[in-house]
Structure 1
Amino acid sequence: MHGVFFDLTIIICLAAILAIIFRMLKQPAILAYILTGIILGPLGLYAIENHESLTSLSEIGITLLLFMLGLELKLGELRSVGKVALITGVGQIVFTSVIGFGLAILLGIEPVAALYLCIALTFSSTIVIVKLLSDKKDLSSLYGKISVGFLLVQDFFAIIALILLSSLSNGGGEMPGLLEIVLILLKAAALFLLTVFLSNIFFPRLVHVLAHSQEVLFLVSLALAFGLSAFASSDFIGFSIEIGGFLAGLALANSIESTQIVARIRSLRDFFIVIFFVLLGMNLVFTDAVAVLPVAILLSLFVLLGNPFIVMVLLGLLGYRKRTSFLAGLTVAQISEFSLIVIFLGNRIGHVPDSVVSTVTLVGIITFTLSTYAIMNGDRLYTLLQVALGVFEKSKPSERTLGNAGEMKNHIIVVGAHRVGRTLINALGNHKDRLVVADFNPDLTSQLDADGYTVVFGDIADPSIQEAARISYASVVLSTMPDFEDNIILTRSVKNQNPKAKVIITAQYEEDVADLYRAGADYVARPYELAGKSLARLLKKDDPSVFDPLRERDLRKYQLQIST
């Protein structure tokens, strides 16, 4: 018998070897981790004995993944997509479950098992999608925010479904009543409102005080993530650790130190989330796989094509452009780890036969694999299909420009109006007549429109938004947005349509700089480096009083009265 350390060593070493091979083959790392689990579990290359301990470690990865998602989303940004996320999430659940149930009946599956199967086909993996969007650096994009929004809606309904199904396995077979369901909704509302209150009043001040010690800040951030996750998943609340981790991140998102917290936690998250994906592969079941393969392929096609179709129709009806609808649709082209839990639960209480368990397992492998490729190559797929996708876009989409660049030429386009972007826009206020601002945050764009700026609302990676901003006629295109993939697309588009235009991009990470230059950027700015150089120039003047007028300017700006 060996300990958890030995089991963990085997997992990490095998996952590292496969990750290197997959990287050489330019394949997503997630697939390497799931394959590690399949090799160790279903294929039986090595017998893992400390499964319970490893499960606990994987839950740490889930908590940190959703904690970082909450840190990077911000409450204001969540509000901007809340309505569409709720409508799309509920609509997709209803249509997928109804169609999935009918399809299961047509395939000869018994009604009770068909009910479990349609539930399993309905929900997509928030954890997988957040990891993929994070790897693509697309979490801050419009479609990324919408996707995360309706996936969280799915998670909420998944919790309710799991509670209902779990009640059947507790011996009595009685479904919980309306009062219990109402209580769940009230708990959810109370927990969310408490998070909103603390994120505005208490946590920003606490974090600011703790920021003087990075070690203490890191430890307290982890304590909040784990504590709220444990509280949310307790018997008293009854939610999942995912919801708790997300709310913990949301609580700290308004603090100015949130970026520093993200930077310190990222590596820790990446380590523990590897264990989650390995265990996901280990839990797959392959009984009678050959016999159920045709049914599994048919159901996989429904998930891969049907779910995105439903989301694209819903977003199209809500007025979103075809690119946003398509990329968001790709994020529901797989089942989730919750799907496996539901099927295993049904099998344990005798409602689901082994053949359906094997079917869902194969559907999971097929959809996890193919949807990963689809999401990571979403922009290429969109380029190939954009003409056909026109049927999903209204003639006058509401994801529209608040104004457009009209007949402007030799203008300056600023992409991104948050923090760095807003500072830049304010500095260029005297050139308002030749400035075009592009952003997909409705609150920011509405404010800028009211201030008299020419504003284009939408995702700049969308060709129609680029046309509205008239990148073909701009003299300078300057992007302050953090999304690496969109910056690459924007740079290439500008250089293809308008080679003479100067393209200036801000890079969030050092490793992105070379790729942006290769894409054609004329200059890649790193905000922290620029800030350091600016301070160095002031210090070189060897006159401490040079900071006095800068200080007075800030005191006037923030209406502060501080005695010296």
Structure 2
Amino acid sequence: MEINIVYSFFLIFSGAAVLASVALFTRQPLILAYIVLGALVGPYGLSLINNFGLLADISEIGIIFLLFLLGLDMQPKALLHVLRKATLVALLSSLVFAAIGYVIAIVFGFTSYEAMIVAIAATFSSTIIGIKLLPTTVLHHRHVGEMVVGLLLVQDLIAIVALLILAAGDEGISVMNLGKTFLALPILIGVTFLAVKYVLLKLFSKFDRFHEYVFLLAIGWCLGVAELAKAMGLSLEIGAFIAGVTIATSPIAQYIAESLKPLRDFFLVLFFFSLGASLNLGLLPNIAIPAILLSLVLLAAKPATFYGLLRTMKEDKKTSWEIGFRLGQISEFSLLIAFLAASKAMIGESASVLIQATAIIMFMLSSYIVVLNFPSPIAISDKLRRD
């Protein structure tokens, strides 16, 4: 039986309110409550909601707004400086994490092809966790935020190449297609900066007293650039981030950021719910040991690897450790890679569930580590709570 969207929203947000209350009373991260709720009422739990695919599509808007708001807080010159340092760190760390994923998958009897997919999935860190737990408005914390964002953006580009290769499958992917993808980025940046300079800022300036119009124009710009990026072979997330950066120097950027935060949080609840709902609980016993081992090894290796590489880039010890722990999980891109590979029969369902389970375990454990030890908007300690 198909359940209507209103009833689905009732179950999700009423249930999230109840579990979030329990989480706060027991001093647990709120993200955990949303994931657990998805597992409980989703198709592999009580099956109270069976249209979670639609909800998962809707929830991606939360990630888009998250990146857009982050872009609003970053100045273009500072971002370019950070990217120069982040590129080498992201590339070298990706090789280390891929090797760990490949070796563990082989040890537990997965095929070499499945091990390669697991290796790719282990490479990236979560944009949504890394940024959701980042206090973006604290000035003395800005450098950590810039480095985290720089590393995530480079990983995003690597993930796009991986997805292009997987989507091509046995047909292979041409050098021309890869070239188009990397050429698309500077073209998109150039087009958006020109559009902001000659159109968007003039509209904001002329009609800034109409708050509803500013709100609508900001949403339209964010989603429009995101869709343009996707059409050019990039990702929605990269497009949304560029949309934010292009108007970061505008005086109205701070007002837009404050206006969109409630909308962002609404969709992020849906994202974490859909993450829990997508996990096939029936297959967990079969992959529990490799998933737990892979999670724990990566949880230890990611902070240590980032720390070592960042120290060679002259970052101080405290900053290097903090960045490493904030990026100490695998990515929502990993879930997309698992889905795409499974849909093309490149990997079996057990390998797909291994990636999903590892992602969820690492999301939860990494969130605990950050929330308990570093400043974040949802920190349990009043001392560490920052927005």
TM-score clears 0.5:
yes
Correspondence for 2:58:
57
Alignment of 1:6-155 (within 5 A): 6-41=7-42, 43-134=44-135, 140-155=141-156
Change (3 A) 1:217 1:139: farther
Correspondence for 2:241:
246
Q: 1:115-141 deviations in whole A, cap 9, x for unaligned? A: 000011111110122111148968952
Change (3 A) 1:89 1:210: farther
| Aligned 8 A contact 1:139 1:145 in 2 | no
Change (3 A) 1:94 1:347: same
Correspondence for 1:376:
371
Shift of 1:81: 1.2
| Aligned 8 A contact 1:316 1:325 in 2 | yes
Letter in 2 for 1:256: P
Change (3 A) 1:51 1:107: closer
CA distance in 1, matches of 2:273, 2:333: 16
- Higher alpha-carbon deviation: 181-190 or 199-208: 199-208
CA distance in 1, matches of 2:60, 2:354: 26
Correspondence for 1:343:
338
- Higher alpha-carbon deviation: 316-325 or 346-355: 346-355
| Aligned 8 A contact 1:207 1:255 in 2 | no
- Higher alpha-carbon deviation: 361-370 or 198-207: 198-207
CA distance in 2, matches of 1:126, 1:267: 19
**Helix, strand or coil at the partner of 1:133:** coil
Which of these residues, 256, 263, 271, is aligned with residue 261 of structure 1?
Answer: 256
Correspondence for 2:226:
229
CA distance in 2, matches of 1:338, 1:508: 27
Letter in 1 for 2:242: L
| 5+ residue gaps, structure 1 | 381-481, 491-506, 510-564
Q: 1:18-43 deviations in whole A, cap 9, x for unaligned? A: 11111122221111111111112254
| Aligned 8 A contact 1:132 1:376 in 2 | yes
Change (3 A) 1:202 1:92: farther
Letter in 1 for 2:276: G
Change (3 A) 1:139 1:375: farther
Letter in 2 for 1:182: G
Letter in 1 for 2:107: L
- Higher alpha-carbon deviation: 135-144 or 75-84: 135-144
Change (3 A) 1:125 1:144: same
Change (3 A) 1:336 1:228: same
Which of these residues, 315, 328, 350, is aligned with residue 333 of structure 1?
Answer: 328
Q: 1:255-309 deviations in whole A, cap 9, x for unaligned? A: 0111111111111111111111111111122343223222112211221011211
CA distance in 1, matches of 2:43, 2:330: 19
Change (3 A) 1:166 1:213: same
Change (3 A) 1:325 1:34: same
Alignment of 1:69-468 (within 5 A): 69-134=70-135, 140-168=141-169, 173-199=170-196, 202-234=199-231, 237-379=232-374
| 5+ residue gaps, structure 2 | none
Letter in 2 for 1:131: K
Higher strand share: 1
Alignment of 1:464-479 (within 5 A): none
Shift of 1:114: 0.6
Q: 1:500-554 deviations in whole A, cap 9, x for unaligned? A: xxxxxxx998xxxxxxxxxxxxxxxxxxxxxxxxxxxxxxxxxxxxxxxxxxxxx
CA distance in 1, matches of 2:140, 2:329: 18
Letter in 2 for 1:214: H
**Helix, strand or coil at the partner of 1:141:** helix
Q: 1:358-408 deviations in whole A, cap 9, x for unaligned? A: 32222122211110011112349xxxxxxxxxxxxxxxxxxxxxxxxxxxx
Shift of 1:228: 1.1
Shift of 1:67: 1.0
- Higher alpha-carbon deviation: 353-362 or 152-161: 353-362
| Aligned 8 A contact 1:159 1:240 in 2 | yes
| Aligned 8 A contact 1:61 1:269 in 2 | yes
Change (3 A) 1:483 1:82: farther
**Helix, strand or coil at the partner of 2:315:** coil
**Helix, strand or coil at the partner of 1:288:** helix
CA distance in 2, matches of 1:508, 1:302: 30
Higher helix share: 2
| Aligned 8 A contact 1:347 1:353 in 2 | yes
CA distance in 2, matches of 1:233, 1:30: 28
Change (3 A) 1:179 1:114: same
Letter in 1 for 2:316: R
Letter in 2 for 1:228: V
CA distance in 1, matches of 2:378, 2:276: 30
Correspondence for 1:478:
none
Change (3 A) 1:278 1:138: farther
Q: 1:173-210 deviations in whole A, cap 9, x for unaligned? A: 21111111111110112112333444556543432223
Change (3 A) 1:2 1:298: closer
- Number of residue equivalences: 384
CA distance in 2, matches of 1:177, 1:262: 40
CA distance in 2, matches of 1:49, 1:353: 23
- Higher alpha-carbon deviation: 261-270 or 91-100: 91-100
Alignment of 1:497-536 (within 5 A): none
| Aligned 8 A contact 1:88 1:314 in 2 | yes
- Higher alpha-carbon deviation: 39-48 or 323-332: 39-48
Change (3 A) 1:175 1:274: same
CA distance in 2, matches of 1:195, 1:305: 40
TM-score of the two chains, using structure 2 as the length reference: 0.91
CA distance in 2, matches of 1:294, 1:211: 56
CA distance in 1, matches of 2:286, 2:138: 40
